Homo-oligomer: A and B are copies of this chain.
Amino acid sequence: MKTSARNQFAGSVAALRDGAVHDEVELEIAPGLRLVATVTRTSRVALGLEVGRAATALIKASTVVLVTEAEGMRFSARNQFAGKVESVVAGAVNDEVTIALPAGLRVVAIVTRASSQAMGLRPGVAATALVKASSVMLVTAA
């Protein structure tokens, strides 16, 4: 499988929480590091998502929000990955920013160039990547 989603995290289902239309799925993508996704009940059944099931999370770079200097703030985004800027690829309107996480994982974000510059994003700067649970797609092998 090849996908345009820049962020792919392989893991296994660690927990499930039921809803009426949406279910919440927790995927362990590194020791102690969990990612939360909301999927419709229909998808959960179709993908056979049960605890222990191998699954991959896909996250578009355009859905990732970056924050810096966020001490003392709480965010509704269920996924909050603290790391450091590894690289910035500049475009005319958008920049592509890669955040390296301690666990050896990387998160890629597309942010507007104006934001990237205002935030002073450059290699080495501490930043947190926020990803809403509803922005995560899950994939399983049939």
Q: How far apart sit A6 and B3, CA to CA, in the bound complex (Å)?
A: 20
Copies of this chain assembled into the complex: 3
A78 CA to B46 CA, complexed, in Å = 10
CA separation between A118 and B112, bound complex, in Å? 22
- Tell me, rounded to whole Å, the shortest Cβ–Cβ distance linking A12 to chain B: 15
Which residues of B are found within 8 Å of A20, using beta-carbon distances? 18-22
Assess whether B134 is in contact with A73, with CB atoms less than 8 Å apart. Answer: no
Known: A62-B62, A76-B37. A69 touches B2 (CB 8 A): yes
**Chain B residue, CB-CB nearest to A42:** B78
Interface residues, chain A, CB within 8 Å of chain B? 1-6, 17-24, 36-40, 42-44, 46-48, 58, 60-63, 65-70, 72-78, 89-97, 108-112, 114-116, 118-119, 121, 130, 132-134, 137-142
